[in-house]
Each structure stands twice: as structure tokens, then as C-alpha cells.
């Protein structure tokens, strides 16, 4: 017989019920969403190579290095006349003579134009790396699922198709976006820039990217699009935890006016705060309806649809709830919540005498 299948005393009954309760713990939805927002763009960074083949690159590099050294050592013995050799370039670097602005093709439909004294190299992941000076990139639109990345100090600049410049000085890295969208990553934090945005960050110290400032260059400035991070959503959660739902609402409203995952999360959370904390379910319905029209294919679309059904049922608005539930079944045929919604449809139809 399985353990606790037939509890013999109070202690075993307690263990049986609490273990079942623990197994059915739902968890903190907002925490899960925050984690999602911090990892959602991971596939934009190429997955690392398999460990089993990691030896190939070091082995090839070592072989090439040995061959190169041998070549340079043996070269004088094969050449009768002595020719002055150019100075060896810095490892992995492409120093360019002053007073030229050459264009270098980088593959993946990308080209870079380097200002005099700029140095372009390659980092350990074979990404182009701006080591010094200013480099202006033009990247053709990448196929679905692919991106083009440039390293600059501790940052990785990730693009799908755009024109942008990277400048590296002794202590700062800067990015100016002319066209398209650029993401500047440092570790697991990123800032998203659109055309006209400029951003600068420290080259060596710890702080992660911060929100962009409008460009001071001749490039037209975008309409003050906020670049926000998930820490702002945490502020809203903190306000809720502190029993200040109105403050949370204010933060979420501000965030929802932005773009990207944060705005989407905030747009959805507004409804939840209105319904669960401020007890305004009708307003929550309006908020989620707005969310859906703004993000018709949003990541939280299913949650928004379900929240609407749930709230309409609670409000006693059975016709609207039934319409929503039927639309849900048609819209999300593979949803894990299909069974729940089908049950609701059955009961609503029964209540309506259909």
C-alpha cells in the first residue's frame, strides 16, 4: 500500500492533506511574469555551442597559432632579401590607418564604417567588437529568429536590422540609433533603443544600462519613448505589498504607456489591481479590453481573456461571459484552460436555458 494512502492516525492525516496542498500550490503569478520578462529575450542571444565540441575551437586556434609562429620564424630562411615587416597588429584587432573611413563587410548583411583611429576586433564569441573609437553599422534585416550582435566593453548590442553607431572612449560606451530598434545588453539586463535614441554607459564599472536620453545629434529625437526595466514592476508589487494599491496603480499606468514587455505586463496588471485590490471589477473589464486591443497577440493575451471571463461571471453578466468564453474556445483551441472554460460555457448555457 502506498504511504499515507490509508492514514492511520492524526499525524498521517495531517501529512496527507498538507502534502496534497503543497502539490497544488499555484505560486505567485506576478513573480512568474517578472521572471519571464527578464528572460524572454534569451533566444535573441545565440545558444552556446555544445560542450562536447568546445575543444574544436581552442584546438584549431592553437594549431593556427603554432603554424603562424613557425611561418614567421622560418620566413627569413626562405627569403634571400630582407624586407621590413609591418608591425604586427594587436591580437584580434584591426587597427586602421588614420584619415580613412573604410567600410568593412562583416557577413550577415552587415557593414561597418570606421572613423579614423577606430579599432574593430572580435570577442571570444566571434562577435565584432568595437574596442576604441566610433563605428557606424548598417545591418540588413535578419531572417526570423536571427540577430546581429556587436560587443563593446561589457555590453552586447543586439539588432535585427538597423543603422546605428557605437562609440567607445576610455571610460564610456555610447550607442546612437539612426534606424530600427537596438537592444543594449549587459548580463541579463537590457535597454531597448529606437531611432533617434542615444544611450551611454560606463565602460568598466558595475552599473547596468540605464534609460536612454534623447539624442543631441542632428538625428530627429523620438517622442520620449520610455525605456523601462522590470525593476519598475517590482516597485508596483512593493506598493501592493505595502497596502498602497493606488500608488501601484500610478506606477502601472505610467509603465503601461511605454512599450515592450514591461508595458504589456503593466497593462494587464492594472486590471488585476483594479479588480482584486480596489474592487472595481467593471473598470478592470475595461482595462483588459483595452489591453487586448493594444496587444492582440500579447504574451498575456490568454490570461487577459481568462480574467475577463472570470470577472464577467463574478459580475453576473452571463451573456457577456458566455460570449467571451465561446470566443476563448474558438481562439485558443489548444489552451490548457480549455476544460475549465468548457465547464463555464456548459453552466452558462444551462443558466440561460439553451
Partner 1 sequence: MKSDNSGPIPVLPALNQKSSGNVMSVVSDGVLVARCLDGDLTAWRTLYDRYSQPVFRFIGALGVPPEEREDAAQDVFIAVYRGLSQFRGDAQLSTWIYRIAARHASRLGRRRRFRALLSLRFTPEPEPEREPDPVERSSDLKLLEDMLSRLSPKKRTVLVLFEIEGLHVDEIAKVVGSPENTVWSRLHHARAELTKMARKVAR
Angle between helices 281-294 and 301-315 (to 10 degrees): 150
Choices 93-101, 204-212, 288-296, 341-349 (CB under 8 A): range interacting with partner 1: 341-349
Q: Is residue 340 near partner 1 by the rule CB under 8 A?
A: yes
Residue 173 falls in which region: left (phi positive, over 0), alpha (psi -120 to 50) or beta = beta
Pick the binder of partner 1 from 138, 315, 318, 327 (CB under 8 A). 318
Nearer to partner 1, 32 or 257 (CB): 32
Q: Tell me the helix, strand and coil percentages in the chain, rounded to 5.
A: 45, 20, 35
Q: Is residue 43 near partner 1 by the rule CB under 8 A?
A: yes
Q: Is residue 334 near partner 1 by the rule CB under 8 A?
A: yes
The answer to whether 192 touches 260, Cβ cutoff 8 Å, is yes
Pick the binder of partner 1 from 146, 169, 204, 231 (CB under 8 A). 146
Q: Is residue 9 near partner 1 by the rule CB under 8 A?
A: yes
Any idea which residue has 483595452 for its cell? Answer: 290
- Phi/psi of residue 215, each to 5°? -65, 145
Nearer to partner 1, 5 or 170 (CB): 5
Pick the binder of partner 1 from 5, 51, 83, 107 (CB under 8 A). 51
Identify the DSSP state of 93: E
Pick the binder of partner 1 from 1, 26, 84, 87 (CB under 8 A). 26
Find the shortest distance in angstroms from Cβ 348 to partner 1.
Answer: 6
- Which 213-272 positions form the footprint of partner 1 (CB under 8 A)? 237, 241
The answer to whether 185 touches 158, Cβ cutoff 8 Å, is yes
Pick the binder of partner 1 from 40, 57, 72, 74 (CB under 8 A). 40
The answer to whether 222 touches 207, Cβ cutoff 8 Å, is no
Amino acid at each position: 500500500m502506498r504511504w499515507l494512502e490509508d492514514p492511520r492516525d492524526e499525524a498521517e492525516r495531517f501529512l496527507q492533506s498538507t502534502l496534497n496542498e503543497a502539490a497544488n500550490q499555484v505560486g505567485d503569478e506576478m513573480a512568474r511574469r517578472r521572471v519571464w520578462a527578464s528572460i524572454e529575450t534569451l533566444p535573441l542571444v545565440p545558444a552556446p555551442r555544445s560542450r562536447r565540441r568546445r575543444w574544436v575551437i581552442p584546438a584549431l586556434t592553437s594549431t593556427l597559432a603554432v603554424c603562424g609562429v613557425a611561418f614567421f620564424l622560418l620566413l627569413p630562411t626562405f627569403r634571400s632579401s630582407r624586407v621590413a615587416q609591418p608591425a604586427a597588429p594587436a591580437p584580434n584587432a584591426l587597427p586602421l590607418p588614420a584619415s580613412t573611413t573604410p567600410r568593412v563587410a562583416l557577413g550577415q548583411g552587415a557593414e561597418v564604417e570606421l572613423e579614423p583611429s577606430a579599432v574593430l576586433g572580435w570577442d571570444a564569441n566571434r562577435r565584432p567588437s568595437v574596442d576604441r573609437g566610433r563605428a557606424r553599422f548598417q545591418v540588413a534585416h535578419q531572417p526570423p529568429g536571427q540577430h546581429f550582435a556587436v560587443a563593446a566593453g561589457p555590453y552586447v548590442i543586439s539588432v535585427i536590422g538597423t543603422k546605428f553607431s557605437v562609440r567607445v572612449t576610455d571610460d564610456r560606451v555610447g550607442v546612437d540609433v539612426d534606424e530600427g530598434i537596438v537592444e543594449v545588453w549587459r548580463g541579463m539586463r537590457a535597454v531597448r533603443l529606437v531611432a533617434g535614441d542615444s544611450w551611454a554607459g560606463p565602460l568598466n564599472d558595475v552599473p547596468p544600462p540605464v534609460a536612454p536620453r534623447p539624442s543631441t545629434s542632428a538625428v530627429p529625437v523620438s517622442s520620449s519613448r520610455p525605456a523601462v526595466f522590470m525593476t519598475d514592476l517590482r516597485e508596483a508589487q512593493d506598493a501592493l505589498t505595502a497596502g498602497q494599491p493606488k500608488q501601484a496603480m500610478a506606477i502601472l499606468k505610467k509603465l503601461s504607456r511605454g512599450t515592450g514587455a514591461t508595458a504589456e505586463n503593466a497593462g494587464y496588471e492594472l486590471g488585476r489591481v483594479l479588480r482584486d485590490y480596489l474592487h472595481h471589477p467593471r473598470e478592470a473589464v475595461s482595462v483588459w479590453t483595452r489591453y487586448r486591443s493594444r496587444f492582440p497577440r500579447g504574451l498575456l493575451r490568454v490570461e487577459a481573456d481568462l480574467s475577463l471571463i472570470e470577472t464577467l461571471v463574478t459580475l453576473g453578466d452571463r451573456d457577456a461571459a458566455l460570449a467571451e468564453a465561446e470566443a476563448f474556445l474558438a481562439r485558443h483551441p489548444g489552451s490548457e484552460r480549455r476544460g475549465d472554460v468548457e465547464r463555464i460555457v456548459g453552466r452558462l448555457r444551462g443558466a440561460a436555458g439553451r
